[in-house]
Amino acid sequence: MSTLQHDPRDQVRVLDEDGEVVGEVPDLSDGELVEMYRQMRLARHFDRRAVSLQRQGRMGTYPPLSGQEGAQIGSAHALDADDWMFPSYREHGAGVVRGLPLKQTLLYWMGHEDGNRMDEGVNIFPVAVPISTQILHATGAAWASKLKGENNAFICYFGDGGTSEGDFHEGLNFAGVFDTPNVFFCNNNQWAISVPRERQTASETIAQKAIAYGFDGVQVDGMDPLAVYAVTRAAVEKAKNPEEGQRRPTLVEAVQYRFGAHTTADDPTVYRDADEVERWKAKDPIPRLEAFLRNTGRLDDESIESVRQSVEDEVAEAIHAAEAVERPRPEEIFEYMYESIPEDLREQRALLEALREQYGDEAFLRE
């Protein structure tokens, strides 16, 4: 596919805002297309329920993803089964595609370390909350895989704000020098908390930054799931490229918008105006794909209702399963950072245990 030969200042599209075809539709079966749609609906419904859980005090701080379903689901579908995914903290939808149960995502944001445990064969690294640190992890893992003679691709997600971190430049520079099999996927959702994209870089696009590192960059309409799939699939093939013998990384910039807050601790009305949000909502990836699937006879009212019901049931079951798990003990915050706990943290843990013994479990946890 020739997608990656585009000028990185041009944006790749397959569907316009009305779901009309304006580019080359990727070679996906009817079943795959409908499943992409279902998973986008699943991610959106899960997102709404998760925000509601946080507001009710049933879950901790949570980062909403609404608006970014097209980029997450489209890119994750482009991976092969043995490829690896390195998420930031907002890739709940992509995780579903890769086999991460919604229950695990809920447990993570409820404070359970078990939310980071992956079943055998689920090739996803743990959530990375620090900005862009996962880029270095993904680059190192890709290089190690290449040295071992494996043929995997390694996709790494990060935001537009992450491109201002040194980890971004170091990781991409290393990847360019050593030809690591990486797909660097920038979710450019226009805002890094309250900092707009134009305050991150003077570059016309983020995709063109790849030129400095010696590999391809491509900008794609991140709210067009079919375009995202096509671009990511081409990048995965370039990362593997077993026939040609040369494996090359790619930087993908998916231009999109987060409809909600950066996290549930954020108030976006302080720095964004309502008109901007509404303009981007007109590009919503879900009705865009739904219109395409309706127009091509792949969806109708009955099948859409079936999707709605299955999505609501699946999310309800995940919430029930997650809330049935015993709440984590406060002392667990000391258990997963060091193999051998340092003396200062050992003293803090002892103090915590003493307070708990003094006040009792219920009063301690309430405070």
Is 262 one of the catalytic residues? yes
Question: Active site residue: 44, 233, 248, 258, which one?
Answer: 258
Question: Active site residue: 233, 247, 262, 288, which one?
Answer: 262
Is 258 one of the catalytic residues? yes
Closest CA to 25 of 236, 225, 232: 225
Q: Would you say how long the chain is, in residues?
A: 367
**Beta strands 84-86 and 195-196: pairing type?**
unpaired
Residues in CB range of 161: below 8 A, 6 or more apart? 131, 192, 193, 195, 200
Angle at Cα 309 formed by Cα 307 and Cα 318, nearest 5°? Answer: 105
3-state secondary structure (DSSP) of residue 33: helix
Question: Active site residue: 271, 308, 320, 327, which one?
Answer: 271
Amino acid at 37: Y
Closest CA to 282 of 17, 68, 64, 15: 17
3-state secondary structure (DSSP) of residue 252: strand
Is 89 one of the catalytic residues? no
DSSP state of 326: P
Catalytic residues: 258, 262, 271
